[in-house]
Amino acid sequence: MKNPTKYEIPINIITPIHIGSIDTFSANEYLFLDDKVHRIDIVNFFNSSLNNRNKEKFIKLIQDENFKLSDLKYIDVDLLKSFSKYYLIDKCSEFAKDNNVQIECAVKSQNKLYIPGSSIKGAIKTALLYNCIKFNQVPDIINKVLFHDYGSIINDYFISSHENSTIFNNILRFLQIEDSSNFDDAPHLHEVIHWYVDTEKEKMFYKKFLTRYLETIPESTLKTTIRMNYKKKFFEDLNFSESMEKILDVNIISESLFLFADDLINFEIDFFSEFNRYDLVEFYEELMKYNHYNKPLILLGGANGVVSKNIYLKIYEYDKQNDTHFSENYAKLLFDFDDDLKFPKSRRFTYKNSEPLGWAQLDFSSYIKCRRKK
């Protein structure tokens, strides 16, 4: 392996991606105008455009949690719009326009959305772990999860010493992924609902009070850079196994993403077929066409945790091959599930178009010419 190695990788966004920040704002900061949602710079507006009398009135109004900026009848809309920090393309229902909703911001650089390198690396780690676990190891994995020994599951595949488990002896420290390029166009505002399943009534439902309003990156192409700077002769004292060293190979990364996405999409197809949501079955069947060995799909964003998805999905695939039922029993035991719920407990979809969030494609085709089938 030649090191350090650098790969310039396009990221093709397929469904809306939200990588959350801690920032939020509500109707005392935004205006719905036509098909756009403008976030207004309230401080600048207050200091630059209001006389003392109107400042006093504005201070009283903004202290009301139900106050909406659109209620300022004595202020010209075009004046407010001139203080827009940025705007979002509105993809919400009429409810959002008529009510005071809280908008959850995505991570930004100079008001431009992007995908942090840490989010990409986390999703790659998820796929690598999934494909490192062999079927004959699943019973041992189940026992470890029963004792909540999640750490050793990850350590077995990425850490060279369990006694001294630190970032320094984690093979993934040598996998470095840059933040993506910025999304230069206007982000989208999506109304996102959480669908649950009632197995007893054999139907799906969503809870309105869990509806979220998220800034998202729509369908587009961004870029990132992946570097692998491991040199064995310099780090022999870390005692990485050969299987760990193989992880730092663009072919292994691409293949792991491809195989993980393949199993995850098939799992979703099985799931929605069971509940007669053939619109979503069709969606995932179409999504599968984007998954290639050298251009694999990747799932980015919240609620895509390593343990919950990897371990359960691996047990589920083990059950399919061995005609066992560990996934049903252990989901209830390990994740405290009621009998009328299925794993995962909920799935996030946009209110319009019923799209799941977070699907993108990493394009390794400039470096990997061979294409394999599962």
3-state secondary structure of 319: helix
Res. 363: pLDDT tops 60: yes
pLDDT class of 1 with cuts at 50, 70, 90: very low
Distance of alpha carbon 148 from alpha carbon 226, whole angstroms: 33
* Tens-place pLDDT, residues 16-49: 999 999 999 999 999 999 899 999 999 999 898 8
In a domain, 373, yes or no: no
Give domain status of residue 180, yes or no.
yes
Helix or strand run (H / E) with residue 33: strand 30-33
How many of the other CB atoms lie within 10 Å of CB of 279? 9
Same domain, 325 and 179: yes
pLDDT reported for residue 143: 80
Task: State residue 207's pLDDT score.
Answer: 63
**Is residue 288 within 8 Å of residue 262, measured between CB atoms?**
yes
Q: Which pLDDT band holds residue 218 (cuts at 50, 70, 90)?
A: very high
57 lies in the same domain as 144: no
Lowest mean pLDDT among 95-109, 214-228, 252-266, 311-325: 311-325
Residue pair 341/197 in contact (Cβ under 8 Å)? The answer is: yes
Is 151 or 358 the better-scoring residue by pLDDT?
358
- Tell whether 96 and 137 lie within a shared domain: no
Q: Is residue 236 part of a domain?
A: yes
Both 326 and 202 in a single domain? yes
Q: Which pLDDT does position 161 carry in this prediction?
A: 65
Domain of 84 in residue numbering reads as 27-101
73-77, 211-215, 250-254, 258-262, range with the lowest pLDDT: 73-77
226-274 pLDDT tens trace: 998 877 766 777 777 788 888 889 999 999 999 999 999 999 999 888 8
The two most distant CA atoms of the chain are separated, in Å, by 76
Rounded to two decimals, the pTM is: 0.89
16 and 57 belong to one structural domain: no
Show which of 101, 125, 147 is a domain's final residue: 101
The whole-angstrom separation of Cα 311 and Cα 313 is 6
- Is pLDDT at 3 greater than 50 in this prediction? no
For residue 106, tell me if it sits in a domain.
no
Residue 374 located in a structural domain: no
16 and 31 together in one domain: no
Look over the chain and give the mean of its residue pLDDT values, rounded to a whole number: 85
Of the residues 101, 122, 140, the one at which a domain ends:
101
Mean pLDDT for the stretch of residues 116-123: 95
Query: Residue 369: inside a domain, yes or no?
Result: no
In a domain, 370, yes or no: no
Confidence (pLDDT) at 38: 95
Of 68-72, 258-262, 274-278, give the range with the top mean pLDDT.
258-262
Radius of gyration of the chain (CA): 24
Domain count for the chain, please give it.
Answer: 2
> Is 368 inside a domain boundary?
no
